Amino acid sequence: MQELIVILVDGLVFSSYLFMVSVGLTVIFGVMKILNVTHGAFYAFGAYMSATLIGAYYNTDLPEFGGFLAIFAAAIIVGVFFGIVLERGLLRFLYHRDEHIIVLATFAMFLVLEDVLLMIWGTDPYYAYEPMALLGAVDIVELTFDVYSLTLIGLAVIVALGLWLGLTKTKWGKLLLAVIFDREISQAMGINVTVVFTVTFVVGSIMGALGGAYIAPTISVSPGIGVEVIILSFAVVVIGGMGSIPGAIIGALLVGISRAAAVHKFPEIELFVIYAIMALVLAIRPEGLFAPAQARKI
Amino acid sequence: MKMLKNSSRATLLATGLAAAMGATAMPASAAEMVVMAVPTFLTGAGAPAFGVPARNGAEVIIEAINKGTLPAPYDKSGKGLAGRQIKAVIYDESGGGVKQVAEFRNKVQKQGVDLFVGYISSGTCAAITPVAEELKMLTIFPICGTPRIFEEINKTPKYVFRTMGHATADGVAEALYVKANMPDVKGYTGINQNYAWGQDSWRDFDLAMKQLMPSVPVSDKTQWPKIFSGQYGAEISALMLSKEPLVHSSLWGGDLEAFIFQGSARGLFRKKQLLFSVADTSVYRLGKKAPAGAILGARGPYGIFAANIDTPLNNWFRKVYQDRYSVPPVGGSYQAAQGVLAAKFAYDKAAAANGGKFPSKDQVIAALEGSTFQGIAAPVHMNRSNGHQAATKHMIGVLEWDKEAGGPIMTKVTEFGPDCVMPPPGVNGTEWLKGGMKGAKC
């Protein structure tokens, strides 16, 4: 029983991590139909900015818990800046081009931003463990868990709820849904699709950066952290269905809990589990679990 | 307009001529230098732990060789390699084996490189070895750890050398240390990255433990996280729930540091005895966050293990490195510097045997094969794999925080001779371990 509960807790923590790092990718794809490889760079920049701000904050005499604000500030700074610069400066010129061209353009931007990151922060790792140390640890079924990682579950729930409420209960959300459903008809009905695209890209960028910013206190923030995230994010959104937020939730839960179970019961297949689930879902339902079937336009 | 055209043509012509003159002039000046390619991780996850420290270590030594300021025993050997200045071509190892093989060919065939001293990843070394032999290019691997280089990929190397011990030495030294210091240990488990390095490290430690402490049970749930995964919550839970008190790990770089942060927050290091193969790369950076009480190795007398080795060369290296980069040298710094020193030793020795004239490549190879040269902190014996694989002494100890000095130190250090931890010449490491490590001189 203890092991089962531990698997569940570990699974939920990892699922929350997966959801946080993949939700930005799925939001952007859902509205803009762009497979945004630059997402990995948003994650990395979010982590570096978070580590920098946290480090700067804890060098002051300000209240300790204020350090958490640095995490969210980092995500907003990175997301807004790169969201606007990339969408206005690059992507808007490519919307009429083939989807593959846009993927390649975002991949190129990812590589450029990786080098920009090295130019700004260099190759030395950055540490920002103070928030994790501050929250301490708690025992669950006689096993110690750090509270900071558990808060990731709460953050993922808040983000998921926020996105759901924002999409279904606000005017902006309804405009977004209309654009998701049919971009051309939305434009014909007077919706300013250009603004919708920019706002969506910025929100998706903030989500990507928030993933990195929140994870930063638990890792060594060092070059290359964005690459791994892209692979994991793609696996999660492909399983859940490209562009589906419920899909991202279910995809993250499926992968997270299966992986935790594998780690505890059959650790040698841990690496295999994520991709086995993806292959299985693609074999049965190629569009993913939650993506609606696409009607062909004639 | 016509004038502009003429002017442009003249400019083009002048530029072309200048370029042509430059191109013809280059080999003449290059002939007076030794062009040394130094591939190392300058970007990506391998850069902070190994790549950049390796570059720094190589730079310090190359600069001193060119100026002729190396201390004893190299203080009377003159400037450069056999009198010629080194022109270092430092470049990024990132991008994988295919890219590196293409870059290797490019450097050899188009850029006139005379020798390579570099490569960190076992995967890259495995890819480069056959190409270096094919192109007859003197190549010194200072770091990569897999035993497979000369045990499987090329058993009769001529142009490829490795100037440090390999992963088998880690496993044997660690098991010997455990046997001596934890004779009553009730079992062991592990967490190692799921790729060549992690698998080799665990295999050799496990095989050595089975020989040295056959009654100690091993877990059937050793952990195999993906390299660069960075998230170890479930693995830490599994390790904490396991009944084995000893945990072996060859994690390195960002993965190691993430594991330490996450494990510390959950009390893993109070509950289990950790044994880290190559954690020396992180101890200075982590400072007090490094887990005091953990058993550490560095595959030889490198990094923190060399902190108290009192020789002119080691003292000089640590001081110059610290002054220049504001951090102490770690394992990668020492190992890369040692690779460059191997080249210095071989060129100078070959020149001496050649009547003082600059030696040929074959003469340099002959000089290095089977030789013993002074590394930064200990002698390096090139006496394995037909004289192409090094064996050095090995050191294992316990990490502690020195309150007075305000830094990490190694305590309870045990030294193991090269013939104790490395398989004898001509013997496959895995077979040697399975056969009970016959011939080990401990």
Average of pLDDT values for A133-153? 95
d(CA B369, CA B382): 7
Residue A279 lies in a domain: no
Average of pLDDT values for A212-236? 91
C-alpha closest to that of B391 among B363, B367, B350, B426: B426
Sheet holding B372-374, edge to edge: B85-92, B33-40, B115-117, B139-141, B160-162, B389-391, B379-384, B372-374
Residue B265 lies in a domain: yes
**Rounded to the nearest 5°, which phi and psi values hold at B142?**
-90, -15
Interface subset of B 35-54, CB within 8 angstroms of A: 42-48, 51-52
Helix (H) or strand (E) holding B231: none
Residues B59, B146, single domain; the answer is yes
Residue B282 lies in a domain: yes
Residue A289 lies in a domain: no
Please report the sign of the dihedral spanned by the C-alpha atoms of residue A174, residue A176, residue A181, residue A185. Answer: positive
Residue A292 lies in a domain: no
Nearest residue in chain A measured CA to CA from B254? A220
What is the domain range of residue A34?
19-223
Residue A233 has pLDDT above 80, yes or no: yes
Q: Is B287 on the interface with A (CB under 8 A)?
A: no
Residue A101 lies in a domain: yes
- Partner residue opposite A10 with nearest CB, options B43, B233, B265: B233
CB-defined contacts A:B, below 8 A: 136
Residues B204, B317, single domain; the answer is no
**Environment class of residue B18 by beta-carbon count within 10 Å: exposed (0-12), middle (13-18) or buried (19+)?**
exposed
Residues B263, B373, single domain; the answer is no
Interface subset of B 214-243, CB within 8 angstroms of A: 221-226, 228-231, 233-235, 237-238, 240-241
Best of B222, B224, B231, B257 to disrupt the A interface (most A CBs within 10 Å) is B231
Over its C-alpha atoms, chain B yields an Rg (Å, rounded) of 23
**Which residues lie across from B88 on neighbouring strands?**
B36
pLDDT tens for residues A175-186? 888 888 888 899
**Rounded to the nearest 5°, which phi and psi values hold at B275?**
-125, 110
Residues B137, B240, single domain; the answer is no
Residues B337, B364, single domain; the answer is yes
Residues B277, B400, single domain; the answer is yes
Residues B356, B290, single domain; the answer is no
Residue A2 lies in a domain: no
Q: Which ipTM score applies to this complex?
A: 0.92
Helix (H) or strand (E) holding B6: helix B2-30
Residues B428, B324, single domain; the answer is no
Q: What residues of B are in contact with residue A10 (Cβ under 8 Å)? A: 233-234, 237
Residues B42, B115, single domain; the answer is yes
Distance in angstroms between the alpha carbons of the first and the last residue of chain A: 56
Q: Is B100 on the interface with A (CB under 8 A)?
A: no
CATH code: domain of residue B174: 3.40.50.2300
Residue B293 lies in a domain: yes
Mean pLDDT of chain A: 92
Residue B273 lies in a domain: yes
Q: What residues of A are in contact with residue B267 (Cβ under 8 Å)? A: 137, 144
Name the stretches of chain B with pLDDT < 70.
1-31
* pLDDT at site B18: 40
Residue B398 lies in a domain: yes
Residues B180, B285, single domain; the answer is yes
- Residue B165 CA, distance from chain mean position: 9
What is the domain range of residue B364?
27-165+310-391
- Give the total number of structural domains in chain A: 1
Whole-model pTM: value is 0.89
Q: Is B90 on the interface with A (CB under 8 A)?
A: no
Residue B6 lies in a domain: no
With CB atoms and an 8 Å threshold, state whether B229 touches A228: yes
Residue B427 lies in a domain: yes
With CB atoms and an 8 Å threshold, state whether A267 touches B44: no
* pLDDT at site A295: 60
d(CA A75, CA A209): 5
d(CA B317, CA B302): 12
Residues B244, B318, single domain; the answer is no
Report the gap between the CA of A266 and the closest CA in chain B (Å): 7
* pLDDT at site B4: 42
Residue A269 lies in a domain: no
Strand pairing class (B394-402; B188-191)? unpaired
Residue A251 lies in a domain: no
* pLDDT at site A298: 57
Residue A274 lies in a domain: no
* pLDDT at site B46: 85
* pLDDT at site A181: 82
- Give the total number of structural domains in chain B: 2
Q: Is B170 on the interface with A (CB under 8 A)?
A: no
Residue A131 has pLDDT above 70, yes or no: yes
